[in-house]
């Protein structure tokens, strides 16, 4: 629930379901997939000092003090008229919890082999700018924190970004980073169309609007096969598992079915276990269809059962 973003209904003016995170947790508990709070870990909210590992001081000042910056990120003009303290409490603080969740998930994955952040995946934020409901780049912040404890050799991180949108913020930040690799498969015809950021992608798969299961999954298999051949074996995989690939999603505009998303997620997890032999941290990222929470629940249920993750 601390991930949910709500502000007297104003958040509903955007297609993003800012309350889906609690829906997923509630459904997993209801169905007995998660056995109580013992399998759930509540993260700490990322501090400004943590955020400064990736973001500039000027940007952090603006996102924490100026309503207009929050409006730019959320695309909700009505927020401009509200007191900044309320915006920080109801919008920015939950986003900082998402960052804390991703940082925790990456650490737990390295320790235990896997972890899922029921949120996160804010892949559009760069050092000095947020956009597309992404005020902070939790992926890069998490990778930086995980790398700090990796010793002299560093930590090789592979980001598999299967959100329907290009992960341009991560890609801009990854330019010149010799320890982070990116496989990004996205709809080339929708936001953000960031050509400059493409230089940060190691394996790029551009899809057309309406792409359905067969083509989608075949292209993913081919991309993973290529990753195994041309990229260094990762020490950690960060899987950005956006459900905005679903057919009917108003912003992703792809045509993947419910079953296709479940198969996609299982395919990535199986590749990490059997081919890369690397721990995986999964983030939920975007998803704007009404059935997004239900599909996430079905996929996580499948993963927990197939990979025997209850113990």
Q: Which secondary-structure segment (H or E) carries 83?
A: none
Name beta bridge partners: 187.
207
124 flagged as catalytic: yes
Which of 47, 109, 43 is CA-nearest to residue 281? Answer: 109
Helix%, strand%, coil% for the chain, nearest 5: 50, 15, 40
CB 159 within 8 A of CB 283: no
**What are phi and psi for residue 140, nearest 5 degrees?**
-70, -35
> Rounded distance, CA 191 to CA 211, Å?
16
Q: Which of the following is catalytic: 55, 98, 123, 124?
A: 124
DSSP 243: S
Check: CB of residue 102 under 8 Å from CB of residue 120: yes
The answer to whether 271 and 263 are in contact (CB under 8 A) is no
Q: Considering just the CA atoms, what is the radius of gyration of the chain in Å?
A: 18
- Distance from first CA to last CA of the chain, Å, rounded? 25
Distance CA 242, CA 142 (A): 18
**Active site positions, annotated:** 124
């Amino acid at each position: 629930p601390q991930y949910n973003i709500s502000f007297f209904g104003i958040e509903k003016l955007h297609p993003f379901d800012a309350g889906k995170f609690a829906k997923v947790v509630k459904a997993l508990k209801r169905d007995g997939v998660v056995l109580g709070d013992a399998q759930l870990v509540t993260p700490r909210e990322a501090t400004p000092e943590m955020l400064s590992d990736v973001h500039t001081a000027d940007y952090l000042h603006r996102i924490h003090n100026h309503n207009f910056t929050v409006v730019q990120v959320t695309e909700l003009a009505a927020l401009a008229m509200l007191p900044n303290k309320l915006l920080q409490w109801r919008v920015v603080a939950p986003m900082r919890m998402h960052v804390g969740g991703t940082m925790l998930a990456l650490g737990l994955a390295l320790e235990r082999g896997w972890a899922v952040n029921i949120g996160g995946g804010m892949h559009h934020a760069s050092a000095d700018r947020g956009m597309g409901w992404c005020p902070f780049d939790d992926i890069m912040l998490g990778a930086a924190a995980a790398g700090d404890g990796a010793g002299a050799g560093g930590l090789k991180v592979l980001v598999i970004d299967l959100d329907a949108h290009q992960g341009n913020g991560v890609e801009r930040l990854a330019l010149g980073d010799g320890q982070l690799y990116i496989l990004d498969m996205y709809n080339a015809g929708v936001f953000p169309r960031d050509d400059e950021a493409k230089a940060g992608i190691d394996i790029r798969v551009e899809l057309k609007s309406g792409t359905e299961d067969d083509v989608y999954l075949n292209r993913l298999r081919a991309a993973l096969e290529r990753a195994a051949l041309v990229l260094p074996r990762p020490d950690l995989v960060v899987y950005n598992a956006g459900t905005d690939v679903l057919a009917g999603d108003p912003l992703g505009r792809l045509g993947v079915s419910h079953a296709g998303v479940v198969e996609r997620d299982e395919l990535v997890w199986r590749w990490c276990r059997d081919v890369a032999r690397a721990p995986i941290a999964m983030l939920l990222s975007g998803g704007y269809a009404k059935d997004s929470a239900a599909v996430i629940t079905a996929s996580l249920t499948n993963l927990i059962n197939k990979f025997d993750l209850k113990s």
